[in-house]
Structure 1
């Protein structure tokens, strides 16, 4: 693959992020490029409208994720950025925060930064790169496809303040409401199997679901208590006792409540309503704040139910993957 790099003055152009001086400028670039498209937790990371100083940056461990990757410098300022993140899988990397200042677009800057990121991953022995891009950003998607990325699917982020959620009827008409029980501790492996059957691992961002994600040992509960985390899960089962549906709420002090709802494919369309009704009822008893659910955008049943519960679409992202071993 040949990448054409725009001509620049000496000392400008593509270079790795300089941790000591670049992050405040990167934050300002991301604010300008993405603005309201950032999710609530990212907006909290990037802060308010006041300038980000190096002192504030150094006191905020969350911004360290911005220090890996590449920037493009022109006219004495940073006008492009791509963040390269490692993952818990040794050969799997993530690309995030691909941003170019509007004045400097269509000059090959994004292509050059993406090429540098891919080269860095190859040098480190990586085999796979994943990224997310806004679904209707056709120019970016065209760029990524030209670089060899393929689309894996689309995930929509829905959000709402807990105080504005509307209760959902657990059944429509004369439908029977299936029993919904708290996930028994010994069935955590079955819950994991159901989750990965309902949602491909690469659509979980930023990491695939851990095999022990639904396991709640005494030590894990203690750790959750000490760190202000809370996790609850509920299940439905078919006539043979196999798990057919799963809903969960993960909460942490200072962050949005995160909801996940999974239904076994052969039960799709029959369990979403009662499971969401259970989740909404429970959320009204949790600390006030925002709640978020990421769900495949082609699930029309869930789309209608989330609107009924007064969730609003925040954004829809296309997940893409590049296999470097090919």
Structure 2
């Protein structure tokens, strides 16, 4: 774990927030993120490692400034400086839909917490988003971090929904087919709107949609030719009940990934009856490809949680998705 030394003898120059200077700040931001998020997951550790590599890459970094999404997010953010050292950070990037922006990497060095730095940095970020005529901002906060959650609430963010990431490893307990499986069929092109209506019912957009940065829009459900340029292979499976859908499964197998990502949608009238069979089907399908399974599922769905645990999924992170609406538009 890297440490962050704070010189105490140098004369103070400027203390407070300022825009990020990526050439000057990248290595210090990497150090700050590492000491601030001691429990970061694998993707977070890889991002910090990439930042360190880029910080030492010289001219390559200047080339990547206009290309790398992470670098762009850092460039548009702010840092907080104390005694010529970075002790706080916030990043800003486009969400890619509805003129919405992402606030991320809100970090304050442990020695400087409790002094309003995180609040001030987020206020600067929201002011910048407003100056760009952004309509909204979104962020994620750990469900086990009530202090940060309270800060975002005071800034005007509200909860959309809480999601838990569940992971099933391929070597773990591949199930056998159930004796009484429902009829799960490949979704026909003309059935896409029925699937979209089911998603609107159980994953409404005002509650975070399908998940983080995945708005519930028709483009996720229209026939395959509209998704031709999406990475990996996306498939749709349904359980039909009369004129409506009882359930749907969306899977995505990214090239080279060890995990099959999926979403499970169950009509409220069928919740508690279909989840076990659907998960059974998903795991057998993933195992055929020698993959594990990964999903981001609403934490308020206790029936699904019970089934995930029964099938030996591991709960990795539970995050509250929050949203801020620009009051100046």
Q: TM-score range by the shorter chain?
A: 0.7 to 0.9
Question: Structure 2 vs 1, CA of residues 83 and 10 (structure 1 numbering), >3 Å: closer, same or farther?
Answer: same
User: Which one of the candidate residues 85, 109, 115 is aligned to 1:77?
Assistant: 85
Would the aligned equivalents of 2:233 and 2:252 in 1 still touch at CA under 8 Å? yes
Secondary structure of the residue that 2:296 maps to in structure 1? strand
Q: Is the 8 A contact 2:30 2:51 kept in 1?
A: no
Of stretches 258-267 and 67-76 in structure 1, the one that deviates more from structure 2 is: 67-76
* Alpha-carbon distance between aligned partners in 1 of 2:289 and 2:48, rounded to the nearest angstrom: 26
The answer to whether 1:108 aligns with 2:116 is yes
Output the CA distance in 1 between the equivalents of 2:283 and 2:21: 45
Name structure 2 gaps, 5 residues minimum.
1-10
Quote how far apart the aligned CAs of 1:84 are: 1.4
Q: Which residue of 2 aligns with 1:4?
A: none
Q: Does 1:61 find its partner at 2:68?
A: yes
Distance (whole Å) between structure 1 residues aligned to residue 106 and residue 74 of structure 2: 11
Which of these residues, 172, 191, 195, is aligned with residue 195 of structure 2?
Answer: 191
Deviation, structure 1 residue 51:
6.3
Match of 2:319 in 1: 317
Could you tell me whether the CA contact under 8 Å between 1:27 and 1:52 is conserved in 2?
Answer: no
Match of 1:274 among 252, 274, 277: 277
> Alignment partner of 1:178: what SS?
coil
Mapping 1:237-316, distance limit 5 Å: 237-238=240-241, 240-255=242-257, 256-288=259-291, 291-316=293-318
The worse-fitting range, judged by mean Cα deviation, of 77-86 and 24-33 is 24-33
User: Is structure 2 residue 183 aligned with structure 1 residue 179?
Assistant: yes
Deviation, 1:50, is 7.2
Q: In 2, Cα distance between the equivalents of 1:82 and 1:50?
A: 18
Offset at 1:208?
0.8
**Structure 1 position 121, deviation (Å):** 1.4
2:34 is matched with which residue? Answer: 31
- Per-residue CA deviations over 1:151-206 (Å, capped at 9, x if unaligned) read 222111112322325427647xxxx4320001112222222221222113242212
Structure 1 equivalent of residue 233 of structure 2: 230
> In structure 1, what is the equivalent of residue 7 of structure 2?
none
Q: TM-score, normalised by structure 1?
A: 0.84
